[in-house]
């Protein structure tokens, strides 16, 4: 895969951030990611009068990835209203792990880092598979 254009990705995230719906917190977030087929997917936070229903920018991004045909996330960034890079929240790190795995590169205020650093010892699909295999072996006569 060609070199990642982080500046272009951040610009896409800033653009998405301008469309955030954040009337309750007043904290707009925009996210953008490069997909392994070259596509760029975006998302912004969408809040709700029932505060807990709020969708983070990453939720919209992952929804767009899957609805657009799926694929693996290669590089991810999210920004605040100043356009500055922020860290994805804990729940969204888990969300990103599922669709990018250990190699996904994440933009952080301290530079880019792989998901293995952003979400160490992550729980993921593999944990489900090993238990499924355990049951299958147990069921064998
Ligand atoms: N938010 C995101 O969209 N992504 C994150 O990773 C951190 C938090 C949103 C949720 C809420 O609308 C606002 O930021 C303040 O928490």
pLDDT at position 83: 98
pLDDT, tens only, 85-137:
999 999 999 999 999 999 999 999 999 999 999 999 999 999 999 999 999 99
Question: What are the respective helix, strand and coil percentages of the chain, to the nearest 5?
Answer: 40, 20, 40
Report the separation in Å between the CA atom of 94 and the middle of ligand 1, taken as the mean of its atom positions. 14
Beta strands of 66-134 (E only): which ranges?
73-79, 105-108, 111-114
pLDDT, tens only, 129-140:
999 999 999 998
More confident residue, 140 or 14: 14
Question: Is the CB–ligand 1 distance for residue 92 below 6 Å?
Answer: yes
Q: How many angstroms separate the CA atoms of 44 and 56, rounded?
A: 7
Which DSSP category does 85 fall into? B
Distances (CA, A) of 57 to 2, 93, 109, 121, 138: 26, 12, 17, 24, 42
| pTM for the full predicted model | 0.95
pLDDT at 2 over 90: no
């Amino acid at each position: 895969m060609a070199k990642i254009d982080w500046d272009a990705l951040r610009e896409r995230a800033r653009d998405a951030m301008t469309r955030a719906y954040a009337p309750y917190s007043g904290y707009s977030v925009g996210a953008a990611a490069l997909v392994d087929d070259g596509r760029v997917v975006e998302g912004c936070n969408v809040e709700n009068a029932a505060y807990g229903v709020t969708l983070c920018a990453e939720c919209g991004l992952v929804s767009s990835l899957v609805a657009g045909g799926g694929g693996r996330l290669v590089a991810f960034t999210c920004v605040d209203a100043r356009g500055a890079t922020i860290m994805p929240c804990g729940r969204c790190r888990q969300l990103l792990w599922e669709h990018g795995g250990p190699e996904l590169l994440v933009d952080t205020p301290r530079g880019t880092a792989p998901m293995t650093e952003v979400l160490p010892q992550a729980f993921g699909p593999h944990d489900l598979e090993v238990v499924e295999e355990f049951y299958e072996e147990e069921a064998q006569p």
